[in-house]
Amino acid sequence: MNFTRFDTKAVAVVALASSLAVSIAFYFFMSPNRVERVLFFPGSIERELAGEPRLVPRSDGLESSVRTVVRELMYGPARIDRSRVVSRNTRAASVIVRGSTAYIELSTDILHVEEEALPLSLEESLTAIEHTIRFNFRSIERVIITIGGEMLRAPAANI
């Protein structure tokens, strides 16, 4: 009877210690300073967009969060079987959110897609950026993208 009581206490202590260790591991690996977002990239062979979950730095406010996602999208995919959405030198000059509309100003480097043999056309690249933003931020209904200050296409009407 003495051994049973000892074994019960030992099991309880081990369970408590294991729980503490798991909690500490989650704290360090699932830092509250990061949030998961899904970025969409085309395949290296197929042009179909596929989501790539990525932990990105948590930002204060919607505009800053959108800016972070656009910047991460410009970095390119982490997976080797995915391809870039835009050319390597493309940068987001500015990201502004007003109401339910996001305005994104891209550098003219996006126009040099032929030099890197990207699988997407310019129009498809802009659609991929828009899709990534609207997927991650449901409150954004419209995405207006300009390149070098020029709008290349009319914004899609809300349906």
The verdict on pTM exceeding 0.85 is no
Tens-place pLDDT, residues 53-99: 999 999 889 999 999 999 999 999 998 889 999 988 889 999 999 99
Give domain 33-151's CATH architecture: 2-Layer Sandwich (3.30)
Tens-place pLDDT, residues 103-124: 999 998 888 766 667 788 889 9
Counting Cβ atoms within 10 Å, is residue 24 exposed (0-12), middle (13-18) or buried (19+)?
A: exposed
Which of 152, 147, 90, 139 is closest to 116 using CA atoms? 90
